[in-house]
Amino acid sequence: MHPHFQALSPAVQAAASGAGLHSATEVQSRSLGPILQGQDLFVCAPTGSGKTLAYVLPLLDRAARSVQHHSNGAKLATTLVLVPTRELAVQVGDVFKGLAQRLPYGVKVSVIFGGVSIQPQLRGLRSGTAIVVATPGRLLDVMAHHALPLSGVRTLVLDEADRLLDQGFADEVQAVLAHLPMPCQRLLLSATFAPAVSAWALALLQQPVRVDLRLAIAEQADIAQRAFAVDRAKRTRLLRHLIAGADWNRVLVFVATQYGAEVLADKLRKAGLRAEPLHGHLSQGKRSQVLEDFKAARIRVVVATDLAARGIDVLQLPVVFNYDLPRSAQDYTHRIGRTGRAGESGLAISLVCPDGLPHWALIVKRQALAVSLESEPGFEVTATVPLARLPAAADALDPHGGIKGKRPSKKDKLRAAAALAAPPLSCA
pLDDT at 377 over 90: yes
pTM for the model stands at 0.66
Is residue 236 within 8 A of residue 228, CB to CB? The reply is no
pLDDT at 218 over 60: no
Does the domain formed by 3-214 have CATH 3.40.50.300? yes
Q: How large is the average pLDDT for residues 60-87?
A: 79
Q: How large is the average pLDDT for residues 378-406?
A: 50
- pLDDT for the residue 397: 38
Q: How large is the average pLDDT for residues 418-425?
A: 39
- pLDDT for the residue 214: 67
Q: What is the pLDDT of residues 142-182, one digit of tens each?
A: 999 999 999 999 999 999 888 887 666 888 999 999 999 98
Residues of the chain with CATH 3.40.50.300: 3-214, 221-418
Q: What is the pLDDT of residues 274-291, one digit of tens each?
A: 999 998 788 877 888 888
> Which residues are registered as beta bridge partners of 225?
348
| d(C-alpha 42, C-alpha 331), whole Å | 19
| d(C-alpha 218, C-alpha 400), whole Å | 25
- pLDDT for the residue 414: 44
Query: Which residues contact residue 381 at a Cβ distance below 8 angstroms, ignoring those fewer than 6 apart?
Result: 229, 230, 231, 354, 375, 387, 422
> Superfamily assignment of 221-418 in CATH?
P-loop containing nucleotide triphosphate hydrolases (3.40.50.300)
Q: What is the pLDDT of residues 36-65, one digit of tens each?
A: 999 999 998 877 778 899 999 999 999 988
- Gyration radius of the chain over CA positions: 23
| d(C-alpha 169, C-alpha 62), whole Å | 28
